[in-house]
Structure 1
Amino acid sequence: MFDYEMLRLIWWALLGVLLIGFALTDGFDLGVAALLPFVARSDAERRMVINSIGPTWEGNQVWFILGGGAIFAAWPFVYAVSFSGFYLAMFLVLAALILRPVGFKYRSKKPDPAWRSRWDWALFVGGLVPALVFGVAVGHVLLGAPFRLDSDLRAFYDGTLLSLFTPFTLVCGLLSVAMLVLHGAAWLSIKVEHGPVHDRARAFGTVAAIASILLFAVGFAFVAWDNIGYRIVGTVDPLGPSNPLRTTAERAGGAWLDNYATYPWMTALPVLGFAGATLALVGIRSGREVLAFA
C-alpha cells in the first residue's frame, strides 16, 4: 500500500507530533515542578502550585510513552541503541519521573514541615532531571552517539554516562531546562492570578526567557563553527530498506547547516525559535501571560 519513502514520512510525522506533544503538555508540568521550591515559600503556596498541575501531569506523560513506542515500531535500531547505550541516562529519567507520583501522593500524608519539604525537593528533582537529560539527548542527536554496528546489525555502545555530558550537550540540556521553566512559569502566572507566587513566577520566567535566547544562540555558534555535523557520503535510495549499513556518513563541521543553503525557507525555523522566546519574554514582562504560554 505504501512504499518505504512514504512510510518513513508518515512515521517521522507521527514521531514528531508525539514528541512535540510531550514537550507542549508535560513540559509545563516539569517546569512547574522545577520551580516549586523557589516560587512558593509557605506550605499553602506550595499546595497552590501543586494543585495547578494536579489534574494534568499524569495524562500528559502518555505522549512520552507513545513516542517511545513509535521509535520501537518504526526504527528498532534507534530504539535498541538508545535504550541500551543510554541505559543509565534513561534510568535517571525514569527514576525522576517515578518520584513525581510518589511525591504528589506522599507529600500530604503527614503535616510535618520537614516531611513535606523533602517531598517538595523530590518533586523538584522529578521536574529538573528529565528536562536536563532530554536536552542532553537531543544534543547527542546532533553531536552523534558513540556506537557501532557489526555485520549482523548488533549494536555496541562505547560511551559512558559521564561522556554524555559534553560542553555542547550541556548547553542543549540547560536550554531544555530554561525553555521548560519558562513554560512552567507562564502556566503558573496564568493559574495563580495574583499574589507573591504570581510575581515570583513572572520573575523566574523572565530569567528563563533570557537564558533560552542566549543558550539558543550559543548552541547555534557550536553547530556553525565547532566540529559538529555529519553528511551522507554517496547517494541514498529513498525506496530502500532502513538499514544503516547501506549508507556512510562523514563528520564535517557545520554540515548540519547545509540544508539552509539548499532550502532557504528552512531558515524560518531557527528564526521562530528566537522569536518564540522573545515573544514569551515580552508577554511575561507585560502581564500577557497567555501570550508567553503560547
Structure 2
Amino acid sequence: MFDYEMLRLIWWVLLGVLLIGFALTDGFDLGVAALLPFVARSDAERRMVINTIGPTWEGNQVWFILGGGAIFAAWPFVYAASFSGFYLAMFVVLAALILRPVGFKYRSKRPDPAWRSRWDWALFVGGLVPALVFGVAVGNVLTGAPFRFDGDLRVFYDGRFLALFSPFALLAGVLSVAMLVLHGAAWLSIKVEHGPVHDRATAYGFTAGTLALLLFAVGGLMVAAMPGFEIVGTVDPAGASNPLHTTARIVTGGWLANFARHPWMAIAPALGFAGTALAMIGIYRQRGALAFGGSSAG
C-alpha cells in the first residue's frame, strides 16, 4: 500500500505531531507549575492556580509517552542512543515529572502551611526542570553529542552528563523555560479571573516573552556562526535507516543551509518571533485568547 519512503515520511509527520502536541498542551501545564510559587501568594490563590491545570495535566503528558513510543517503534537507534547515552538527563526529567502527580495528590492531604508550601515547590521543580532539560536536549542536537556505533550497531556514548550543559545548550534551555512560562502565563490569563493572580501572571508572562525574543535572536546568531552537520553523498530514500550507510561533514553555518534549499522552512523561525510577539501583545491588551494563540504559534 505504501512504499518504504512514504512510510518513513508518515512516521516523521506522526512524531512531529506528537511532540508539537506535547509542547502545546503539557507545555502550559509545565509553565503554570513553574509560575506557581510566584503568581500565587496565599493558599487559596495557589489552589486556584493548581485547579486551572488539574483536569488536564495527566492527559496532556500522554503526548510525551506516545512520542517516546513512536521513536522506539520507528527509529530504535535514536531511542537507544538517547536513553542510554543520556541516561542521567532522562532520569532527571522523569524524576521531576514524577513529582507532579505526587504533588497534586499529596498537597491537600494536610492543612499544615509548611507541608503545602513544600509540595508547591515540588510542583515548581516538576515544571521548571523538564522545560529546562528539553531545551538543553534541543541545544545538544545542534551542537552534536559524542556517541558512536560499532559494526554491530551497538551504541557507545563517550560524553559526560555535565558536558551536555554547554553555553549554547544552556541558552536553549533557558529559552525553553521562557517560552513555556509565557505559554503558562497566557493560559492563566484565560482561566483566572482578573485580580492579583491574573496581574502577576501577565507581568511574568510579558517578562518571559521579552526574554524569549532576546534569547531566540541570540541563539539564531550563534547557530549561524557555529558548525553544522551536512550529509555527504547521495542518500537512498528507500534505503534502510542505518547510520553507518551515511557520512556527515562539519560545515560552518551548515544548519542554515536548508533555508537556502527550501525557503518555506523559514516559516518556523518566523513563527518563533511573530508568535511570541503576538502573545506579548495579547497579554498587554488583556486578551487571553490572543496571548495563548500567539504563545502556541511561537
With normalisation by structure 1, the TM-score equals: 0.98
Aligned to 2:34: 34
CA-CA distance at 1:226 after TM superposition: 2.3
What SS class does the counterpart of residue 206 from structure 2 fall into? helix
Q: Structure 1 unaligned segments of length 5 or more: list them.
A: none
**Which secondary structure does the structure 1 equivalent of 2:81 belong to?**
helix
Q: CA deviation at 1:264?
A: 1.9
- Is structure 2 residue 107 aligned with structure 1 residue 107? yes
For the aligned residue pairs, the C-alpha RMSD in angstroms reads 0.8
Indicate the SS of the match to 2:231.
Answer: strand
- Name the structure 1 match of 2:43: 43
Which portions of structure 1, spanning 4 or more consecutive aligned residues, are displaced by more than 2 angstroms? 1-4
Q: Distance in 2 between matches of 1:272 and 1:32?
A: 22
Q: Which residue of 2 aligns with 1:166?
A: 166
Please give the per-residue CA displacement for 1:210-244, whole angstroms capped at 9, x wherever unaligned: 111111111101110123x1000111111111000
- Conserved? CA contact 1:108–1:116, under 8 Å: yes
- In the TM superposition, what are the counterparts of 1:174-213 in structure 2 within 5 Å? 174-213=174-213
Aligned partner letter, 2:253 = G
- Where 1:252 maps in the other structure, the secondary structure is strand
| SS of the residue 2:198 aligns to | helix
**What is residue 276 of structure 1 aligned with on the other side?**
275
Structure 1 residue 93 displacement after superposition: 0.5
Deviation at 1:204, TM superposition (A): 0.3
Conserved in 2, the CA contact under 8 Å of 1:223 and 1:253?
no
Secondary structure in 2 aligned to 1:251? strand
Q: Distance in 1 between matches of 2:98 and 2:17?
A: 24
- Is 2:17 the partner of 1:17? yes
Structure 2 counterpart of 1:242, one-letter code: S
1:217 aligns with 2:217: yes
Structure 1 distance, partners of 2:35, 2:262, is 40
Partner-residue secondary structure (3-state), 1:82 = helix
Structure 2 gaps of 5+ residues are 294-298
Counterpart of 2:152 in structure 1 is 152
CA distance in 2 between counterparts of 1:164 and 1:2 reads 39
* Mapped partners of 2:57, 2:214: distance in 1: 29
The code of the aligned residue for 2:135 comes to: G
Deviations 1:245-265 (A, max 9, x none): 000011112101111111222
Q: Partners of 1:263 and 1:106 in 2: how far apart?
A: 51
Residue type of the alignment partner of 2:260: A
| Alpha-carbon shift at residue 189 of structure 1 (Å) | 1.0
Within the alignment, does 1:265 sit opposite 2:271 as a pair? no
1:285 alignment partner in structure 2: 284
Given the alignment of the two structures, is residue 256 of structure 1 paired with residue 250 of structure 2, yes or no? no
Instruction: Look up the equivalent residue of 1:240 and give its one-letter code.
Output: G
Deviations 1:88-139 (A, max 9, x none): 0000010000000100111111111111110000000000000000111111
* TM-score using structure 2 length: 0.97
**Structure 1: which amino acid aligns with 2:262?**
Y
Q: Distance in 1 between matches of 2:187 and 2:267?
A: 26
Could you give the per-residue CA deviations for residues 68-92 of structure 1, whole angstroms, max 9, x where no partner exists?
0000000000000000011000000
Write the distance in 2 (CA, Å) between the matches of 1:293 and 1:111: 34
Distance 2:55 2:266 in 1: 38
- Aligned partners of 1:88 and 1:161 also within 8 Å: yes
Amino acid across the alignment from 2:58:
E
CA shift for structure 1 position 269: 2.0
Q: CA deviation at 1:166?
A: 0.5
Secondary structure at the counterpart of residue 252 of structure 2: coil
Q: Is the 8 A contact 1:232 1:248 kept in 2?
A: yes
Offset at residue 163 of structure 1 (A): 0.6
Q: In the alignment, which residue of structure 1 is the partner of 2:240?
A: 241
Deviations 1:160-185 (A, max 9, x none): 11010001111111111011100000
Is the Cα contact below 8 Å between 1:32 and 1:181 reproduced in 2? yes
